[in-house]
Amino acid sequence: MSLQLEQNVSLKAFNSFGLNVRARLFAQAQDDAQVREALALARERQLALLVIGGGSNLLLTHDVDALVLRMASRGIRLLADSDDEVMVEAEAGEPWHPFVLWSLAQGLMGLENLSLIPGTVGAAPMQNIGAYGVELKDVFAGLTALDRETGELREFSLEQAAFGYRDSLFKREAGRWLILRVRFILRRQAALHLQYGPLRQYLQGQGIAAPTASDVSRAVCAIRSEKLPDPAVLGNAGSFFKNPVVSAALVQRLRSEHPDLVAYEQPNDQFKLAAGWLIERAGWKGFREGDAGVHQQQALVLVNYGAATGAQLLSLARRIQADIAERFAVELEIEPNVL
């Protein structure tokens, strides 16, 4: 067996909250063959198989009585190259931000607004990562996944991936599909996405009147670094709650009580509310109880100040959810996967 299996392994280094839970068995898959070995081993030992990437969208509330498989496959390749359009395929274990930087170094545009998002390429389609006006679905060309039920490989198109707001078929059927590699359509010439106000303001403040994709990437990195804590310094999983989508009638009622409510119009007479605004208005920003807390600069981010447990962070999240529901009649949905 080429798969290197370890027992009773701490997952602290493999989740961005820095939670010190332990896995009964742990292995890292470098290729498809090792993924299949892990699946066979889990079946043989009658163990659950938990697949992780960078662990940046995961809240572990207890030790994991399973085989934890970290996707560590690497490789980036060009599949098709026309005058402007390029199809790129990356292995699931490729770290996301270095992949974005690689694409920019090749003169390829499309991923710049998604700079500095933690995690791996394989995890990105799970929740249709998005930031600053761009989502993964906007550059998605397909992916290859292993069906854990049948052992067969399956190719998924954009339509079949069924992407939604921080959602996808792969997230809804998380126990079935194991993403092996993802394909992207990138371009040498494309309109930059600059509709996000702070992004435009940052570029203007730097005196950049005609930004390049690399300029946008650097601006996104600067804004993210200012707004969001570095998981290497302060344990967190980025935005902990989704921005809720609610009816126009509820927005009208809330605005009568809170004229400064942050809401963005959506199709079908709906509005997307800023979850961070709701949490801050409710007084949770900067809240800390033991080592579990809400970030002092960004109310949307729950943080581990050092020794918090996943159960403590989840308890805090539940209290915030209940308070927001009572104050605003809005249900907040947790973004990370909770185990």
Q: Which domains does the chain have, with CATH numbers?
A: 6-71 (3.30.43.10), 76-187 (3.30.465.10), 235-338 (3.90.78.10)
Q: Which of 56, 168, 239, 281 is catalytic?
A: 239
What are the C-alpha distances in Å from 141 to residues 80, 89, 144, 173, 298? 11, 9, 11, 20, 33
What are the C-alpha distances in Å from 163 to residues 44, 58, 100, 117, 279? 34, 19, 20, 18, 27
The pair of three-digit structure tokens given for residue 80, joined into one six-digit string: 């098709």
Contact 199, 132 (CB under 8 A): yes
The count of other CB atoms within 10 Å of the CB of residue 229 is 17
Report the candidate in 307, 293, 164, 182 with the shortest Cα–Cα distance to residue 240. 293
Residues 6+ apart with CB under 8 A from 6: 25, 26, 27
pLDDT of 40 higher than 90: yes
Residue 310, SS3?
helix
239 catalytic? Reply is yes
2 catalytic? Reply is no
Distance, in Å, from the CA atom of 335 to the CA atom of 337, rounded to the nearest integer, reads 7
188 catalytic? Reply is no
Does the reported pTM lie above 0.85? yes
Q: Which of 166, 183, 218, 281 is catalytic?
A: 166
Indicate the pLDDT class of residue 83, thresholds 50, 70 and 90: confident
Residues 6+ apart with CB under 8 A from 334: 59, 240, 241, 242, 317, 321
pLDDT of 12 higher than 70: yes
Residue 79 φ then ψ, to 5°: -100, -30
SS (H, E, C) 179-214: EEEEEEEEECCCCCCCCCHHHHHHHHHCCCCCCCHH
Which tens digits make up the pLDDT trace of 111-168?
999 999 999 999 999 999 999 999 999 999 999 999 999 999 999 999 999 999 889 9
pLDDT at position 1 is: 62
Q: Which of 89, 112, 135, 335 is catalytic?
A: 335
pLDDT of 336 higher than 70: yes
Specify the amino acid at residue 26. Answer: F
User: What's the Rg (C-alpha) of the chain?
Assistant: 21
Which tens digits make up the pLDDT trace of 180-205?
999 999 999 988 999 888 899 999 99
